[in-house]
Amino acid sequence: MVSILYEEKCMITSFLVLEITAIVTFLWAKKLRLSKLDWLAVGTVTVMNAIFVYWWMPVPTLSQLVIPVAIETTLISIWSVITGASSFLVERVTNGKRSFSVQGITFWPFIIPFVAIGISVSAGVSKALTVRPMYHSVQAEHHKEAPLTKDDQPIALSAQAAKNMMKKAFSQVPDSSMYELGDLSAQYIKGKSYYVAPVEFNGFVSWFMNRELPGYFIISATDINDTAHFVKNDMAYSETSWFSHSIARKIYMANPRYQQVGEPILEVDNHGKTYWVQTLLRVRWAGQLLFDNIHVAITSADSGQTKVYKTNELPKWVDVGVSPEAATLMNRTYGNPYAFNFRHKNQIKPTENGSESGVTPMFNVNGSLAYFDDFTTVRSNADSDKGYSLVDTRTGQLRFYTGKNVGIMDSEGAMKVAKQLHPQNKWHGSNPVIMNIDGTPTWVVSMMDNNERFREYAYIKGADQNVIGEGANASDALSSYRNVLAGSVQSAAASDQKVKIKKVSGKVSRVNTNATLNSKQVVVFKLTDDQTLYTLDPSQSQTALLMQVGDQVDLKVKSIKGAAVANVVSITNESLK
C-alpha cells in the first residue's frame, strides 16, 4: 500500500511542477491581481498540463520537465504582456490620451522561462560531458575465452524473413484489414525457440471498433521448414490501444520514476497466456540512462494488471526482460567510456549488424537467451574485430570477450565475404555471430535471398576469409567447414617447420568416413576426451573406412601447436585385430 501511494505521489509530481510554475508566473505577471479572463487562462493551462502529463507521460526529472516549463511560462508571460498592454491602452484611449507607454506593464516574469532554458542547456551539456556514471552503471565482465560453441543454436531466419512470412500468412487474421503486424521478438516457449509478433491496431478507428486484438503470429526461429501460423488470443491491452487500455500508460501508472526503453515485447508463458514485457531504466537529472538497477514491467494482455520486478525477481518463463534497444544502448555506452577521447584510446564501437535493433538473439544450450554484437575500431575502414559482447536478456549482464577474437574480421567483413559466395543468386548475409568451432573463432552467417528467405548457413574462419563451409542446415555447414578447415591446416603443415609428429591413442567418439576435401574423400574423426579433430586420407589405410564409434585406435599424427586439427600419418585400429 505504501509503495502504491509513493508511485501515485511520483506520478503527480510532473503535474504539480508544471502547475505551480504556471500559477507563480501568472501571479507575478499580474501583481497578484487576476481578472476573470486571467482565471479562465489559469483553468485552460491547468487542463493543458493534465493532458500533457497524461498523454506524454514524462519521468519526473529536470531533463524532461524543464522544456515544458519554459514553454508554458513563456506563453503565460506573453499573454500577460498582451492583456496588460491592451487594458492599459484602452484606459488611456478612454481618458482621451493619445500617447502610449509601457509604464505599469511588468516583464520580470520572463525570468522564469530564461532560467528554465538555462537549466535545459546545462542538462544538455551535462549529458554530453558526463559519461563515466553511465559507463560504470553497465554490469560488465571481461573474458578471454569464447563461450559460443557449435552446440549453441544460431537463428536461421532473420527478423525480416520471419516478418515477411507472417505478412504472407496475415489473411488468417479475422478482419485483417483492421490490423497490422507488430514488432517481433525471439523467445522460448516450452523449451523451443520462436519468433513471436502481435497483431496490432492500425489506428484509432481500428481500436474504437474492435477494442481487443485477435491474437499473435508465431514461427520457429531455428527450423527453416516451419511456417508462420496465427494463434487466436484476445488481448484487451496493447501498445496500440488507446487511453486506459494503453500498456505504456498502465506501466507509467505503475512506475513513473523509470524510463521505458524500447518497444514492449509480447511474451507467451508456458500455459499460453500473453504478457507485455517492458524494460525500465533509471534516469539521472540530465536525462542519462543508467543500467545498474534495471526494472522490468510485466502487464497482462488480458486484464491489464501490471507488476514491476527487479531482474533477479523475474518469473522463470520471462526470457526478454531486457529489450534489444536497451542492449544496444549498453553496448554503445560500454564502448565509449570517455566524453573527450581525441586519440580514441580504449574506444570501440558496436557494429550493430544484428537483426533486432542492431543485436542478434542467440539461443544457448542452457536454455537462456542472449544478444550478440561485435565491436570494431572507432575510426578505421579496416574490417577488424576488437571483441564481442553477449548481453543476458534476463539480467542485463554484459560479458565482453576478446582473446582469439581480437584481430579477426568483424561482422561487416564477414557479411561482405558471404555476399560474394553466390553473386549470381544475389544472396546476402544476415544474423552474423561468432562461434568457437574446434577452438577456431568462426563467423556463422545466415544466407538470405532477395525475398529474405533462408537459403543456407555459411561458416567463415575469422582469421582467413578463404576458409568457408556451406550447408543447407547447421550440421551440413559444420561438416563442410571442418573439412575445409582440416585442408587449410594440412596446407599449413606442408610448409611450416613447427609441425611435430606425435603418437596418440584413444577411443573414437565421432566419425565421418564420407567427408570430402578438395573433391577427395577423407575420414574425419574425434577421440573421447580429446578436442582435436583428426583427418585421414583413406588411401593410406583402407581399414580406416571401417572405423566405428567406440573403436580403440593408435595414431601417429602431424600437429601444429595451438591448432585444433591434426593430420593422421598412420593408424592402427586395435578393435579390428
What is the model's pLDDT at position 145? 64
Q: Using the predicted structure, report yes or no on whether residue 45 has a pLDDT greater than 80.
A: yes
Last residue of a domain, one of 326, 342, 364: 326
Last residue of a domain, one of 326, 346, 369: 326
Same domain, yes or no: 183 and 111: no
Q: What contacts 339, CB < 8 A, 6 or more positions away?
A: 128, 129, 130, 131
What is the model's pLDDT at position 85? 57
CA distances from 404 to 33, 438, 503 (A): 75, 13, 27
Same domain, yes or no: 102 and 22: yes
Mean pLDDT, rounded, for 462-469: 86
Residue with cell 524473413: 161
Same domain, yes or no: 123 and 168: no
Q: What is the pTM of this model?
A: 0.78
SS3 481: helix
Per residue in 151-189, pLDDT (tens digit) is: 555 666 677 788 888 999 999 999 999 999 999 999 999
Question: Considering the domain boundaries, does residue 237 fall inside one?
Answer: yes
Question: Considering the domain boundaries, does residue 563 fall inside one?
Answer: yes
Last residue of a domain, one of 307, 326, 345: 326
In angstroms, how far is the first alpha carbon of the chain from the final one? 79
pLDDT band of 209, cuts 50, 70, 90: very high
What is the model's pLDDT at position 147? 61
Same domain, yes or no: 125 and 164: no
Question: Considering the domain boundaries, does residue 507 fall inside one?
Answer: yes
What is the model's pLDDT at position 495? 44
Mean pLDDT, rounded, for 520-545: 86
When mean pLDDT is compared over 3-7, 98-102, 110-114, 134-138, the highest value belongs to 134-138
Same domain, yes or no: 110 and 200: no
H or E element in which residue 249 lies: helix 247-254
Domains held by the chain: number: 3
Per residue in 321-356, pLDDT (tens digit) is: 999 999 999 999 998 877 555 555 667 889 998 888
Same domain, yes or no: 83 and 180: no
| Alpha carbon distance 463, 409 (integer Å) | 7
Question: Considering the domain boundaries, does residue 153 fall inside one?
Answer: no
| Alpha carbon distance 339, 260 (integer Å) | 25
- Return the CATH number at 536: 2.40.50.140
Please state which of the ranges 187-196, 314-323, 376-385, 400-409 shows the lowest mean pLDDT: 376-385
| Alpha carbon distance 500, 559 (integer Å) | 5
What is the model's pLDDT at position 164? 86
pLDDT band of 81, cuts 50, 70, 90: confident
Question: Considering the domain boundaries, does residue 500 fall inside one?
Answer: yes
| Alpha carbon distance 370, 399 (integer Å) | 10
Mean pLDDT, rounded, for 419-441: 85
Same domain, yes or no: 186 and 44: no
Question: Considering the domain boundaries, does residue 455 fall inside one?
Answer: no
Q: Are 553 and 508 in contact (CB under 8 A)?
A: yes
- Look over the chain and give the mean of its residue pLDDT values, rounded to a whole number: 84
Q: Beta 533-536 vs 348-350: how paired, if at all?
A: unpaired
Q: Using the predicted structure, report yes or no on whether residue 451 has a pLDDT greater than 90.
A: no
Same domain, yes or no: 29 and 176: no
Question: Considering the domain boundaries, does residue 34 fall inside one?
Answer: yes
Mean pLDDT, rounded, for 283-291: 87
Please state which of the ranges 178-182, 261-265, 304-308, 359-363 shows the lowest mean pLDDT: 359-363
Q: DSSP secondary structure string, 269-329? A: -TTS-EEEEEEEEEE-TTS-EEEEEEEEEEEETTT--EEEEEGGG--TT---SS-HHHHHH
Same domain, yes or no: 91 and 187: no
Q: What contacts 529, CB < 8 A, 6 or more positions away?
A: 506
Same domain, yes or no: 124 and 170: no
What is the model's pLDDT at position 479? 76
Question: Considering the domain boundaries, does residue 148 fall inside one?
Answer: no
Q: DSSP secondary structure string, 387-420? A: EEEEEETTT--EEEE-GGGTTSB-HHHHHHHHHT
Q: At 494, list the grid cell.
A: 606442408
Same domain, yes or no: 195 and 261: yes
Q: Are 57 and 88 in contact (CB under 8 A)?
A: no
Same domain, yes or no: 93 and 190: no
Please give the residue range of the domain that contains residue 282: 159-326
Mean pLDDT, rounded, for 278-293: 90
Q: Residues 509-512: contacts with CB within 8 Å, 24+ apart?
A: 509/549, 510/549, 511/547, 511/548, 511/549, 512/479
